[in-house]
DNA sequence: GTGCCTGCTGAGGGCATGCTGAGAGCGCCG
DNA sequence: CGGCGCTCTCAGCATGCCCTCAGCAGGCAC
């Protein structure tokens, strides 16, 4: 789990870095809002701990900008006790939770874990054509309830066909989309259609002579 | 979870009652300090939400008296924003957390849960996938009831995989999230998958050639 | 029927992918 | 300082995936 800590109090940051590392997190640090935004924009963190009072850019700004950039990493805001900024503002702006300083370290960790747990995983939709079901996320394929194991290439091919179900898809188009280069030789496609048929049975992929292939319900 | 709400603003109380009930709490209500103290003294609540400004007895009084009576139910204080009473006073007096009005409902719930969690009364967040059980809080792992000792890195890897159970997780993604830098060389991941398998047996982490790894029930 | 074209398939080689053992670096503890 | 545990790199090796090729079957045009 990668965590980004954005705060300008060196002592606190050092403590958090040590503590969170000991808890098994990989910790990155930024000391001002600008730098924090920069790092966070790479979208490589599982959570962000973000102070409100920061040099160069305040916490609200950072969150707002992050969301505008379509980065949805969960954010745990740290607000100062004096209440100059209102807590509700942070939540309005798109933070997922907040904590007022001072706080106990265990509380921070507990909140952080809650945040990570809560984050819903966005999944691409499941493709269904007749008896065939293909889940891109889990890379699982079932045919009439029976699980089928496919190799990467086979899966890519079937996914493309199912994505364009009911349509006749040309070999060249398949060659272009499922395979890298735009090639002339489309025999690979035929070979792999053969593999699919061997694993799924004859009736699934239909040949349209002179045009291409089709999967239909 | 039984919660006692002590406040004299009827509208707020009604809203809290409905909201907390919906969140799965059993809610009792008192409209003044005296009645609140009376109910709370029975020591049958898991938490108390207590306003500071109350008829007949103010919130500080209630907490002080409760602690004097050896009732240590966690108290979440609600203080008005105008700051006539200082927040710190509440904490000094024996409250466990505080919230300034107005507040968002989700915030209240979040704080309440944190409070309960801190008391150790709430089930810690445990990841379970098939025979595998991983408790991030205690960092303990069991496999079919048998305890397994993992190093920090191994645990982080397993945690990430279990967190995304049933999904195929790419090596690069693992490298990015479980390890610090965003690196090209993903051999470390393979090595650590090997370590996990040595400790957990073959069947736990499945290899999906060309795509990554998966743990599934 | 004859010839041609399209599509299917079995065989096999090359090679990327993934796994593992050995070992170096390093921090920690006695 | 020596030993130990953890982390990570590296190189060798096995597996099986991917793709090419050649031969064959069957449809279509004439």
Measured in angstroms, the CA of A168 and the nearest CA of chain B are apart by: 28
CB-CB contact of B28 with B54 (8 Å):
no
Q: Are A12 and A47 in contact (CB under 8 A)?
A: no
Asked if residue B13 lies in contact with residue B31, where contact means CB atoms within 8 angstroms, the answer is: yes
Q: Do A88 and B103 touch (CB under 8 A)?
A: yes
- Indicate if the pLDDT at residue A211 is higher than 90: no
Q: pTM score, two decimals?
A: 0.59
Strand C interface, protein residues by Cβ within 7 Å: A 171, 187, 190-191, 193-194, 197, 207, 209-212; B 171, 187, 190-191, 193-194, 197, 207, 209-212
pLDDT tens-digit map of A31-48? 998 899 988 887 678 889
> Residue B120 has what pLDDT?
46
Burial class (CB in 10 A: 0-12, 13-18, 19+), A193: buried
Distance A47 CA to C20 C1' (A): 34
Return the pLDDT at A123: 46
Q: Report pLDDT for A104.
A: 63
CA to C1' distance (Å), from A210 to C3: 19
A107-111, long-range: CB within 8 Å, 24+ apart, which pairs?
A: A107/B114, A107/B118, A108/A16, A108/A49, A108/A76, A109/A19, A109/A20, A109/A23, A110/B114, A110/B117, A110/B118, A110/B137, A111/A76, A111/B114
* pLDDT tens-digit series, residues A132-158: 999 887 889 999 888 899 999 999 999
Interface test with A, best of B76, B85, B95, B110 (most A CBs within 10 A): B110
Closest CA to A213 of A159, A156, A174, A180: A174
Instruction: Test B114 with A121 for CB contact under 8 angstroms.
Output: no
Could you give the CA distance from residue A189 to residue A174 in angstroms, rounded to a whole number?
A: 7
Structure tokens, A173: 């188009």
- Kindly give, in sequence order, each residue whose CB lies less than 8 Å from that of residue B197, ignoring residues fewer than 6 positions away: B204, B205
Given this model, what pLDDT does residue B95 score?
Answer: 65
| Cβ-contact A76, A96 below 8 angstroms | yes
Contacts across the A-B interface (CB distance below 8 Å): 77
What digits encode the pLDDT tens for the residues B162-217? 988 888 898 988 888 888 766 678 999 999 999 999 999 888 999 999 899 999 87
Q: Torsion angle of alpha carbons B63, B68, B70, B74, nearest 10°?
A: 20
Contact call for residues B78 and B96 (beta carbons, < 8 A):
no
Nearest Cβ partner of B114 from A26, A110, A152?
A110
pLDDT at residue B153 tops 50 = yes
C-beta atoms of B104 and A81 within 8 A: no
Percentage of chain A beyond pLDDT 90 is 16
Q: What is the DSSP letter of B202?
A: T
Q: What is the mean pLDDT of chain B?
A: 79
- Give the span between the Cα atoms of B18 and B114, in whole angstroms: 20
Nearest-by-Cβ selection for A88 from B104, B114, B211: B104
Distance A167 CA to C14 C1' (A): 36
**Would you say B182 and A44 are in contact if contact means Cβ atoms under 8 Å apart?**
yes
In whole angstroms, give the CA distance from residue B214 to residue A14.
35
């Amino acid at each position: 789990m990668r965590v980004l800590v954005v705060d300008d109090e060196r002592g606190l940051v050092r403590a958090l870095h040590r503590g969170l590392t000991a808890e098994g997190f990989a910790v990155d640090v930024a000391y001002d809002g600008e730098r924090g935004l920069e790092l966070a924009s790479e979208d490589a963190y599982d959570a962000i701990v973000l102070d409100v009072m920061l040099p160069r850019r305040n916490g609200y700004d950072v969150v707002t900008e992050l969301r505008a950039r379509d980065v949805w990493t969960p954010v745990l805001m740290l607000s100062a006790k004096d209440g100059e900024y209102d807590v509700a503002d942070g939540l309005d702006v798109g933070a997922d939770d907040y904590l007022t300083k001072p706080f106990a370290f265990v509380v921070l960790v507990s909140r952080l874990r809650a945040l990570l747990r809560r984050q819903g995983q966005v999944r691409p939709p499941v493709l269904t054509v007749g008896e065939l079901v293909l889940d891109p996320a889990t890379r699982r394929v079932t045919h009439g309830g029976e699980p089928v194991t496919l190799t990467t290439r086979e899966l890519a091919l079937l996914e493309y066909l199912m994505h364009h179900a009911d349509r006749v898809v040309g070999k060249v188009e398949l060659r272009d989309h499922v395979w890298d280069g735009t090639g002339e030789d489309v025999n690979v496609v035929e070979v792999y259609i053969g593999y699919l048929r061997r694993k799924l049975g004859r009736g699934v992929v239909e040949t349209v002579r002179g045009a291409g292939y089709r999967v239909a319900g």
